[in-house]
Chains A and B, each alone.
Chain A
């Protein structure tokens, strides 16, 4: 049965207005910048703040207090009960919902085994590593077989090396889980890897939704484009020529007409100290405004008409000896530019 939720929360200087639909077994990621209202939406669905109307099939959750909702929540910092063992933590929900102690402990032990923590039954939360604590939190949330699983930044508290492994494990458990899952995150990679569908939230409103592939290929706002690491412009197309709203124009490979989004990856941009001879169509002068170093590439922020991000290799960086204020020529291959109607 599909879960339909409409969330309306208003506070001073902030309002949240989101409609969500989650199919059984589906993982929906709510992705957005800090302060977009992601966590508020999650808390409203859980019943921790008022404002969400939830319907699952024929039944509604209107007026149901938190403790009577069929939910499981994994909190950002897990909130494991420090004075209880891992087993008691996982068994807590079952005990609270009336399962006898022996049966609850047996189910909890099975869950600890499923998340790869057999043998940690007696461990206190403070003795667990971040990744282990996250898995106990997941087992605790899933042990009661909830209809709706809510994950609030479940990987944010982990360091980069454990995150990779825990993310993969989490993905496996989410695929096995038959209920509805809502994942709140500000990390696009979590959303891409874990979710079947991404809902992007900005300032309390949904600005885009779709499968991860759709969102990456066709970002609709600067935030989304920046998030997935793409250059995005709005413009008007006349055949293969697109004049960009904020100035400048680009030549594209696929002809189009009317209002369009133009998008291309930063790797499609080449940088040259001199204007290249026999210049290709998309060549324009730019000024370096910022340099971000990543593991294997360097992202260069460039001012110009239009402004653009370019990813260059470490070797290119060494050749060009880039510094903010340097004047360069940007060259873009038309075949790497995609347009889609806005």
Chain B
């Protein structure tokens, strides 16, 4: 380090100053949250019914949404990485659309398709009596819609980085493509899969726009943590801070769980 600095001169202020400002900009709001937290009443509020209910609902819905993403997203990632599809680039771009789409727009789109009068929703209602909007299932659908691209992109990247010759080796040993996928491919992309799953889960946990648009706000049924934070901010700011701190702790926990090795495996 010393020799490098000696030979390459001082760090330029033009870069260092904005870098430090950027760092402060990212960290200060979180510090503010901790400074303004009503620490004295915090334990009492935490065990209160309102927070517990929202937290439980959030965890359950985010986990279910993650399962949905895994079941659908991993095969989709495999198809994008390994399937010899025409127009694969276009497909890959389409998959990432929900990533850049404002979540509210995603919620509106979901309503139009899965709503009681929607393209698919009307048949779901008529044939199975299933109606997704404004239900807990609707929360899962909205979260899965927003979070799935994170999983697909992460797993697809890992699959494309994995050496396909191992799959060839498995084939020469008599393994079908399905067996090869389960026993050889999937274990080799496990770090990417774990990273993608965690990102997907974290995104689902924090999902707000699509959820409130598609599933509405019914305490105990569709009011997840982010919705509860937003509502509490108008009536009881201290409650909003407590809820926010809980989400912050969960998020930091997720980051800690991700650690370098999982992230490295995904890139």
Which residues on A are within 8 Å of B, measured CB to CB?
46, 48, 65-69, 71-73, 75, 79, 81-83, 92-93, 96-97, 140, 144, 150
Contacts and interface: CB of A to CB of B under 8 A. Distances in A.
Nearest to A92: B173
Contact of B165 (A72, A75, A144): A75
Interface string B153-179: 000000000010110111111111001
A144 B173 contact: yes
Interface SS, A side: mixed
B184 interface: yes
B175 A96 contact: yes
B187 interface: yes
A93 B188 CA distance: 18
A83 B169 CA distance: 14
B188 A83 contact: yes
Interface residues of B, number: 18
B179 A48 contact: no
Given A66-B168, A75-B165, A79-B165, A93 B187 contact: no
A195 B173 CA distance: 24
Given A75-B165, A79-B165, A81-B184, A92 B170 contact: yes
A171 B176 CA distance: 31
B174 A144 contact: yes
Contacts of B183: 81, 92
Contacts of A46: 172
A66 B190 CA distance: 26
Contacts of B170: 81, 92, 96
A65 B223 CA distance: 53
Interface in B184-198: 184, 187-188, 190
8 contacts: A46-B172, A79-B165, A81-B169, A93-B173, A96-B170, A97-B174, A140-B173, A144-B173
Given A79-B165, A79-B166, A81-B166, A48 B171 contact: yes
B168 A96 contact: no
A34 to B, nearest CB: 18
A96 B188 contact: no
Given A81-B184, A82-B188, A83-B187, A93 B174 contact: yes
A72 B173 CA distance: 7
A67 B184 contact: no
Interface in B47-103: none
B166 A96 contact: no
B188 A66 contact: no
A307 to B, nearest CB: 42
Nearest to A82: B188
Given A79-B163, A79-B166, 17 more contacts: A48-B168, A48-B171, A66-B171, A67-B173, A69-B172, A72-B173, A73-B169, A73-B172, A75-B169, A81-B169, A81-B170, A81-B183, A81-B188, A83-B188, A92-B170, A96-B175, A144-B173
A342 to B, nearest CB: 40
Nearest to B165: A79
- 7 nearest interchain CB pairs? A93-B173, A96-B175, A66-B171, A79-B169, A96-B174, A73-B172, A97-B174
